[in-house]
A and B are shown apart, each in its own frame.
Chain A
């Protein structure tokens, strides 16, 4: 069974890293290693840097060259009592303090952005029981989002996800170009907190943001040993016209509260956007269980 392969590998790894922690609190089940696996798609096809057809409302060709996002607060739902159990993420260069960077892009050849290394897992330990659901938040937690990016630990040291001019990180980064072979239009999705105000006290990173823009996701019918979570760029852009970008606004949607390209993208993330109107009341359509 495939899942044993990954569990065995994880268990060995966790033991070797000395991070297995079997707490003796109320959980009767022993802890075991679990990995939540993500897969990047573009309209059901596996993501790779390159050009895809029939994207968005204009059915445009779309060249995609970057695809990464942060997740945190990963929880598994117990099949026996529906309780949400935290997946205690291991400390690795991709994971820190419960935050994981999921990175599908493979780097710099042929006009492709990013790094060679990829990461599709958020892994750690949880009680060894049956699970049938998963919850997580796409983003960087508030208390981590406004630290000094120059000295941040991995994975927050990824400069490609830095968004310092807005006082935080990009939660989701998709870089692309509509109609790459005709009249190319740079069309990116950069999601992050906006309208952030510092407290005025330089000794505290405390900042409040009017638009946190963190995406809370809960998915049913999910067993970490059997399923993966797909993140589909085609679904995310289904309501957007990637062949058009309003002049003097960011190329695509970079989360600006007044950017007319944002509502269609925010709708698919289940987020409201002040340009509105908010039409997608059935939550996010970006992530699905496969």
Chain B
């Protein structure tokens, strides 16, 4: 019999003695002690008036060197399998840290099924990414774009990542920044510290200095704000609070606001389904009630983050307002996703549609545009230190 013959030959060759090899294991994390300081001790966030401090994990206290290191790593193309993209490729400051594409493009050219989210104020989001209730911290979330394979984003793996780390260690600037950022680490250039540094930088992407925040609304935007906060339009239920999102967490917060909503974007075949390619939270939770549920992102800087929705399937703010006015989107045959989204049985009860005049619609959009924070979009502290990604044309050097 072939099987036993194979085993016999193995035994003859002595292969079954299986030498135990403890060397050569990839990326053994040698963390040199923990940083014991609590939270943001000794670091002062530049907070807009009325903003709480973000949550900072106790094991990743903020410091200026760590933020600067994280900034460089965020823009570092060496952290991609092709050396061609960085975190910032899909999260560009000039578009409030989004990319203007329907779906982000990874290092190997693979197109993500989901729209690259704006990183505006993600420090205040209770959960990260579009529809995953497991992802609570930047440090954990970053492992997905770095190492995820379905789809490939940055595309690093058990072989290329240690090589990338070695490259950082050999670079004097990086080596010094890692040392300064993690003074208690004996060997500071580790995966853990890299994730922590990128997380620290992301916690500084705070935006709260828009015309709305300064109370400088035009007459039209003021009328739009009244519409936005009205029970007639109901926008503020999902996009509420200082961050205009129903997903909220911050320092001292006792009860995280973790919520996901189905907004009637699809109703494939009239059964309530979303397209099989992306069905939202149900894919992670397995709960039928989570069909088509996604996180309501912040509306801050929304003017700069088109296209909209989890799949980038709505191009303009005007069309977004039309979508909510209709209480959902109708897609006509022969489109394979045909169906009346407003009749989706999983749709959030507060999305019931409204009648809105052309003037009101303009007012509402002017209000949304009043949430653009040019100080944030043009802040040199958040910009590309390597000069690959240009600033917004409106930013004056």
Interface residues of A (CB under 8 A from B): 2, 5-6, 9-10, 13, 35, 37, 39, 41, 44-46, 92-94, 107-108, 113-117, 119-121, 123, 146, 148-151, 153-155, 157-160, 162, 164-167, 194-198, 200, 202, 207, 210-211, 228, 247-251, 254, 256-257, 290
B28:A93 contact, CB within 8 angstroms: yes
Taking CB atoms, residues of chain A closer than 8 Å to B158 are 114-115, 158-160
- Once bound together, how far apart are the Cα atoms of A287 and B118, in whole Å? 47
From the candidates A113, A123, A153, name the one contacting B20 in the complex (CB within 8 A).
Answer: A123
Among residues of A, the one whose C-beta sits closest to the C-beta of B192 is: A151
B285:A117 contact, CB within 8 angstroms: no
Taking CB atoms, residues of chain A closer than 8 Å to B4 are 290
- Once bound together, how far apart are the Cα atoms of A117 and B31, in whole Å? 22
B3:A157 contact, CB within 8 angstroms: no
A165:B258 contact, CB within 8 angstroms: no
Q: How many pairs of residues, A versus B, come closer than 8 Å at their CB atoms?
A: 148
Of the A-B pairs whose beta carbons lie under 8 Å apart in the complex, a sample of 29, sorted by A's number, is: A2-B11, A46-B6, A114-B159, A115-B158, A121-B18, A148-B137, A149-B140, A150-B140, A150-B143, A151-B192, A154-B27, A154-B28, A158-B26, A158-B158, A159-B161, A160-B158, A162-B143, A162-B147, A165-B132, A166-B284, A195-B284, A196-B134, A196-B284, A197-B285, A200-B256, A202-B136, A202-B249, A202-B256, A257-B286
User: Is residue B191 contacting chain A, with contact meaning CB distance below 8 A?
Assistant: yes
Taking CB atoms, residues of chain B closer than 8 Å to A148 are 137, 139-140
Given contact pairs A92-B22, A196-B284, enumerate 9 new A-B contacts (beta carbons under 8 Å): A6-B16, A39-B10, A158-B26, A159-B158, A160-B158, A162-B143, A165-B132, A198-B133, A200-B256
Among residues of A, the one whose C-beta sits closest to the C-beta of B9 is: A46
User: Is residue B287 contacting chain A, with contact meaning CB distance below 8 A?
Assistant: yes
Looking at B22, B25, B143, B161, the one whose CB has the most chain A CB atoms below 10 A away is B25
**Closest CB in chain A relative to B229 CB, distance in Å:** 28
- Once bound together, how far apart are the Cα atoms of A236 and B287, in whole Å? 28
From the candidates A117, A194, A207, name the one contacting B21 in the complex (CB within 8 A).
Answer: A117
Taking CB atoms, residues of chain B closer than 8 Å to A2 are 11, 14, 16-17
User: Is residue B110 contacting chain A, with contact meaning CB distance below 8 A?
Assistant: no
Decide: A211 near B286, CB < 8 A? Known: A39-B10, A202-B136: yes
Interface residues of B (CB under 8 A from A): 2-4, 6-7, 10-11, 14, 16-22, 24-29, 31, 132-137, 139-140, 142-144, 146-148, 150, 156-159, 161, 191-192, 195, 249, 256, 258, 275-277, 283-287
Name the 6 nearest CB pairs between A and B, nearest first.
A195-B286, A248-B276, A167-B134, A93-B25, A159-B147, A117-B24
**Closest CB in chain B relative to A191 CB, distance in Å:** 15
**Closest CB in chain B relative to A154 CB, distance in Å:** 5
Among residues of A, the one whose C-beta sits closest to the C-beta of B156 is: A159
B140:A164 contact, CB within 8 angstroms: yes
From the candidates A6, A165, A228, name the one contacting B7 in the complex (CB within 8 A).
Answer: A228
From the candidates B31, B142, B258, B276, name the one contacting A247 in the complex (CB within 8 A).
Answer: B276
Among residues of B, the one whose C-beta sits closest to the C-beta of A157 is: B29
A196:B285 contact, CB within 8 angstroms: yes
Decide: A9 near B29, CB < 8 A? Known: A108-B159, A151-B139, A256-B283: no
Taking CB atoms, residues of chain A closer than 8 Å to B14 are 2
A150:B191 contact, CB within 8 angstroms: yes
- Once bound together, how far apart are the Cα atoms of A151 and B18, in whole Å? 30
A153:B25 contact, CB within 8 angstroms: no
A93:B17 contact, CB within 8 angstroms: no
Decide: A248 near B143, CB < 8 A? Known: A9-B20, A197-B287: no
Taking CB atoms, residues of chain B closer than 8 Å to A121 are 18, 20
- Once bound together, how far apart are the Cα atoms of A210 and B10, in whole Å? 41
**Closest CB in chain A relative to B109 CB, distance in Å:** 16
Taking CB atoms, residues of chain B closer than 8 Å to A154 are 25, 27-29
B16:A228 contact, CB within 8 angstroms: yes
Taking CB atoms, residues of chain A closer than 8 Å to B159 are 107-108, 114-116
B191:A248 contact, CB within 8 angstroms: no
B144:A164 contact, CB within 8 angstroms: yes
Taking CB atoms, residues of chain B closer than 8 Å to A153 are 29
A198:B157 contact, CB within 8 angstroms: no
B157:A160 contact, CB within 8 angstroms: yes
From the candidates A107, A117, A150, A160, name the one contacting B195 in the complex (CB within 8 A).
Answer: A150
A165:B29 contact, CB within 8 angstroms: no
Taking CB atoms, residues of chain A closer than 8 Å to B276 are 247-249
**Closest CB in chain B relative to A114 CB, distance in Å:** 7
- Once bound together, how far apart are the Cα atoms of A211 and B285, in whole Å? 10
- Once bound together, how far apart are the Cα atoms of A94 and B159, in whole Å? 16
B25:A117 contact, CB within 8 angstroms: yes
Taking CB atoms, residues of chain A closer than 8 Å to B258 are 200
- Once bound together, how far apart are the Cα atoms of A150 and B27, in whole Å? 12
Taking CB atoms, residues of chain A closer than 8 Å to B256 are 200, 202
A13:B20 contact, CB within 8 angstroms: yes
Taking CB atoms, residues of chain A closer than 8 Å to B21 are 117, 119
- Once bound together, how far apart are the Cα atoms of A220 and B394, in whole Å? 73
**Closest CB in chain B relative to A161 CB, distance in Å:** 9
B25:A164 contact, CB within 8 angstroms: no
Taking CB atoms, residues of chain B closer than 8 Å to A10 are 20
**Closest CB in chain A relative to B125 CB, distance in Å:** 12
- Once bound together, how far apart are the Cα atoms of A120 and B195, in whole Å? 31
**Closest CB in chain B relative to A52 CB, distance in Å:** 13
Looking at B3, B142, B286, the one whose CB has the most chain A CB atoms below 10 A away is B286
B143:A159 contact, CB within 8 angstroms: yes
**Closest CB in chain A relative to B98 CB, distance in Å:** 20
Decide: A149 near B18, CB < 8 A? Known: A198-B133, A228-B7, A256-B283: no
Decide: A149 near B286, CB < 8 A? Known: A159-B158, A200-B256: no
Taking CB atoms, residues of chain B closer than 8 Å to A115 are 26, 158-159
Taking CB atoms, residues of chain B closer than 8 Å to A257 are 286
- Once bound together, how far apart are the Cα atoms of A92 and B28, in whole Å? 10
- Once bound together, how far apart are the Cα atoms of A139 and B276, in whole Å? 28
B25:A6 contact, CB within 8 angstroms: no
